[in-house]
Amino acid sequence: MSNLKGYYYLYVVFILAIAMNHTAMAREPSSRAVKGAYWPSYAGFPASAIDTSLFTHLYYAFLVPNNVSLWFEISNSTALTLWNFTSTVSGKSPPAKTLVAIGGAGADPDTFSQMASKKSWRESFIDSSIEVARKYGFDGIDLDWEFPQNSTDMENLGHLLDEWRAAVRKEANATCRSPLLLTAAVYFSVEFFLSAVVRTYPVDSINRNLDWVNAMTYDYHGSWDTTATGTLAGLFDPLRNLSTSYGLRSWIDAGLHPTKLIMGLPLYGRTWQLKDPSVNGIGAPAVGVGPGTEGVLTFSQVEAFNKANNATVVYDVDTVSTYSYSGTSWITYDDANSTTVKIAYVKTLEVRGYFFWAVNDDLDWKIPRVASRTWIL
């Protein structure tokens, strides 16, 4: 074990001992810290059920522009959902800031490539996004373009961000309101180094124009490779650069200011079916996905599975990740231990905070509570 990893292993014991002895703690005094989470509007989880004492910012997921007009066409039912989300979250005690997230993994990346490729199309998209955010009471806009496909897309993304920020400032000055927040969900690394088409985010434009980026530091392994188990969101990777520490440091090394960087945390697990139940560590041979829809379980479902199946739970110090197994079923996820060490680690990087996907996946708020307390401590 390296000295650094050993330090964080000991640190987690100390932090957890303190955190678990506090039943309630005040929100961190600094308003700069971000403790975010995405709320999937399609999941049937009411916004009224969110414990906003654990979050500073909540993202409505998702809206997608029309692929021809590039404007947002809001149906009556969607309008009602938007209004309910912002009014409910802002009306809770304490309230949380709300952002409307545009795009998502299910959105066609070609729509965003087309939109960003021409100034007039960017203008239509920008104007419509600001109109929607203001009309439905949001505090900001989050761009979830997953993902720019080449260097031209990245260059155009830089132009989009420049023009978006200018439009937000202009609108705020004209209406005498606070400017909308502008954020983006981005790849875990500043560069798509694993892709056949290597491309890099426009860090200078991001520094100039975005309040922060949400680095999706998870999904390093999953159902797309069923030959062997792997970590969902390991802090370290002894063999490859598929890790949260590598991803976050790549952004900072590329020049992104740490206060513009947010670490992503999963509130779900990914599963495999082991080839041999007796070979059950990280990297064990597998033959397919395990329990859950397409090999995915929410954190609450992971806990239920572990209890019902008397699963063996292992916290792996080398990767800072947790996995459990029972029979041929194998699950990778983050628990209180791994979450606490990750928070302690990113605080040394002086990043701005963290976010969860997704807010409805831990029904007892165990992991968000641990994260919030650890950030304060």
Q: Which residues are catalytic?
A: 146
Q: What does the DSSP assignment read for 197-227?
A: S--B--HHHHHHH-SEEEEE---SSSTT--S
Residue 179 exposed, middle or buried by CB count within 10 Å (0-12, 13-18, 19+): middle
- Bridge partners of 212, per DSSP, are 183
Bridge pairing between strands 181-187 and 261-266: unpaired
Calpha distance 224→358 (Å, rounded): 21
Distances in Å between the Cα of 245 and the Cα atoms of 27, 169, 197, 222 are 26, 34, 23, 19
Give the number of residues written for the chain. 377
Q: Which residues are within 8 A (CB) of 165 and not within 5 positions of it... i.e. 6 or more apart?
A: 182, 208, 209, 210
- Closest-CA residue to 313 (of 300, 296, 332, 299): 332
Q: Please give the Cα distance from 144 to 149 (Å, whole number).
A: 13
- CB of 15 within 8 A of CB of 330? no
Q: Which helix (H) or strand (E) holds 315?
A: strand 312-316
